[in-house]
C-alpha cells in the first residue's frame, strides 16, 4: 500500500510540475505568432515599459508597452468591475526581476474609488497584432 501511495504522489508531483500549456486555449484558433506564449520568452516585456492602460470591462485590460506593443490581459475574475477606464493600477513583479513573460509574473491590483484595492489574477496575456490594435475602438486603445 505504501508503494502505491508513493507512486501516486510522484505522479501528482510530475503533473503539477508540467505546468500550463504553452498558449491560452481561448486563442488556439489564432495564428501562432499572435498568441503570447504563456510559458516562454517570445512575449516578454519589462514591467517598467508599461506606459498606459485602458480597462475594457470587468475582466479585460489593455496595456501599452513601450509605445511599441499592446497587450490584452484577461482576468480570471471580475476584479475590474466598478473601475473606470483609467483607474490607477498597482503593479509588482512577482519574481522581482521586472521581466513579465507569463501571467503569473505580474501581480496586479486596481485602486478603486474610496481607496479600495481589488487584486486581480491574470489568466491570459496576449500581444495584439497591429491590425488588432487598429480594430480596437479609440477609447479602448491604451
Per-residue pLDDT of the chain (142 residues; tens, 9 = 90+): 444 444 444 444 333 333 333 333 333 333 333 333 333 356 799 999 999 999 999 999 999 999 999 999 999 999 999 888 778 888 888 877 889 999 999 999 998 877 789 999 999 999 999 999 999 999 999 9
Is 62:136 a contact under the CB 8 Å cutoff?
yes
> CA-CA distance, 70 to 43, in Å (whole number)?
11
**Spatial separation of the C-alpha atoms in residues 104 and 93, rounded to whole Å:** 9
- As a whole number of angstroms, the distance between CA 100 and CA 107 comes to 10
Compute CA 93 distance to the chain's CA centroid, rounded to the nearest angstrom.
12
Helix (H) or strand (E) holding 93: strand 88-93
Give the pLDDT confidence score for residue 30 in this predicted structure.
36
Neighbours of 107 (CB within 10 A): 15
Q: For the chain, state the CA radius of gyration.
A: 17
Tell me the whole-structure pTM to 2 decimals: 0.69
Amino acid at each position: 500500500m505504501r508503494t502505491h501511495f508513493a507512486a501516486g504522489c510522484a505522479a501528482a508531483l510530475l503533473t503539477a510540475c508540467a505546468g500550463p500549456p504553452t498558449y491560452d486555449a481561448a486563442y488556439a484558433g489564432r495564428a501562432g505568432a499572435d498568441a503570447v506564449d504563456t510559458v516562454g520568452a517570445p512575449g516578454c516585456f519589462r514591467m517598467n515599459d508599461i506606459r498606459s492602460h485602458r480597462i475594457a470591462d470587468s475582466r479585460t485590460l489593455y496595456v501599452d508597452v513601450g509605445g511599441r506593443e499592446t497587450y490584452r490581459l484577461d482576468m480570471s475574475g471580475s476584479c475590474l468591475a466598478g473601475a473606470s477606464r483609467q483607474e490607477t493600477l498597482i503593479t509588482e513583479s512577482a519574481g522581482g526581476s521586472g521581466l513579465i513573460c507569463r501571467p503569473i509574473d505580474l501581480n496586479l491590483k486596481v485602486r478603486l474609488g474610496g481607496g479600495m484595492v481589488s487584486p486581480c489574477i491574470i489568466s491570459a496575456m496576449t500581444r495584439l497584432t497591429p491590425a488588432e490594435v487598429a480594430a480596437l475602438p479609440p477609447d479602448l486603445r491604451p
